Amino acid sequence: MEELLSNSRNRVVGTKQTIKALENGEAQKVFIASDAEDKVTRPVVSLCEEKNVELYYVESMQKLGKLSGIKVKAAVAAIKDNEKEVD
């Protein structure tokens, strides 16, 4: 599953961007670092449950940052769907 994130061209990194993608119905899959602070990840986990979005845990913030294609640690990242689903 981690390969999906590293190979995705349409991704967001960070709590604010991930929350925005979830609220807009654009997030397809969300990745959370297991060692990230709960106060940072809790709102994202809640939104994933509310929006029924797949949630995956990565072993560390260091690894999630690397998978996301950035040179710093990341607590949260998401793969965005190319087309939003319309209800």
pLDDT score, position 2: 78
Query: What pTM, to 2 d.p., does this model score?
Result: 0.90
pLDDT score, position 1: 77
pLDDT score, position 82: 67
pLDDT score, position 45: 97
**Are residues 64 and 40 in contact, defined by beta-carbon separation less than 8 angstroms?**
no
Candidates 3.30.1330.30, 3.30.70.100, 3.40.50.880, 3.20.20.70; CATH matching 2-80: 3.30.1330.30
Q: How does pLDDT run along the chain (87 residues), one tens digit per residue? A: 778 898 988 999 999 999 999 999 999 999 999 999 999 999 999 999 999 999 999 999 999 999 999 999 999 999 998 644 444
